[in-house]
Amino acid sequence: MSEMGRTLTTTRRVSRSSPCPICKRPDWCLVARDGSYALCMRVQSERSARSALGGWVHRLMGRAGGSTPPLYTTRSAVIASVEDRNGVYRRLLSALSLSRAHRADLRGRGFADPAIAHRMYRTLPLKGRARICREIAQDDREAFLGVPGFYIKKEAGGSWWTIAGSPGLLIPVRDGDGMINAFQIRHDGLLTDRKYSWLSSAGRPGGAGSGAPCHVARPLGTVTDRRLWITEGPLKADLAADHLDAVVIAVPGVGAWRRGLQMASEMRPERGVLVVAYDMDAEQNKHVRLHRDDLIRGASRKGWSVHLAEWDGIIAKGIDDALTCGAKVNVRPVQVLTRTVPHHRRRLLPRQSIMIGESR
């Protein structure tokens, strides 16, 4: 095959989103699909292209300070499969460590060192992220494509994979099969007004959004409590699972109760007992209370035997704090009653009320 034939089959046209790394123009030039060289039609080099297309060959391998060769891709990518995400995320965790400050914080919350190691909590640093990507890429230039949190950074005529997100505690979010499909970040310091965010690279080259999936926490030991618990937040669920010896589902927010209920139904098609353990500020916080009651009603309609976990809200706000400080947690069955009320158009409309039974 002629050099012209090889050029046509191994290169791609530049565009506005991926301009020529040599002349910075969005047209006329070509770039190798593997990022090893560019065929620039404007800037001369020592090697002329031996083809009818003309131009000059510029080697790109090793540009941008010796980083990986330039990459060219669309603005964003379709999210990778959960299997691919799990593989990349586990390699990422193997390349990271846990800072002393984060370990001390986890211990202060009630986590023992074996639990910290088992949950694979890590510290996401501020610097050195491109180096980490090079270490875990395993020579696969598309290993991170569509994996939330990873994206292609373009600068000085080169491009390389790096990691988005504020520095902080990296919390694995697992599905019902134990695969890591996302990360939450508990932020360090005052870099942001929010305490938590998702590791996401939505809208960035090669990146993808993480969404806000539910987390399934399983205890380190044997599951002895056959009830399925549901609360808010992965850290809270991890700690509760170890204390309760139960499976605990964490919704990403109290308003995402439908996602939590769907996860519960996928894990237990035969239903059973579902214990709702939202924070104890529900009686003062109307927002929390409304969503908690919606979860109870929705679970009851799906055939669950719904129970409500309660404790002294003055001593502890969340189920994790209640379990670590030794507060008594009462679990009471909940019955959803339907009654009719008159409407101004002389119709009777159904209304549901929640009745809480005795403790168990």
**Domain spans of the chain, in order of start:** 3-61, 82-198, 215-356
26 near 41, Cβ under 8 Å?
Answer: no
Residue 337, H or E segment:
strand 330-342
CATH architecture observed for domain 82-198? Alpha-Beta Complex (3.90)
Four-way CATH pick for 215-356: 2.50.20, 3.40.1360, 1.20.1300, 2.60.40: 3.40.1360
124 pairs with which residues across the strands? 168
pLDDT in tens, the chain (360 residues): 333 333 334 678 888 777 888 878 888 888 887 777 888 888 877 777 776 677 888 877 544 333 445 555 555 678 999 999 999 999 999 999 999 999 999 999 999 999 999 999 999 999 999 999 999 997 777 889 999 999 999 887 778 999 999 999 999 999 999 999 999 999 987 555 678 999 999 989 999 999 999 999 999 999 999 999 999 999 999 999 999 999 999 999 999 999 999 999 999 999 999 999 999 988 788 889 999 999 999 999 999 999 999 999 989 999 999 999 999 999 999 988 766 556 555 565 555 566 665 655
Neighbours of 248 (CB within 10 A): 29
Q: How far is Cα 312 from Cα 318, in angstroms, rounded to an integer?
A: 10
Q: How far is Cα 231 from Cα 233, in angstroms, rounded to an integer?
A: 7
Q: 215-356: same fold as 82-198? A: no
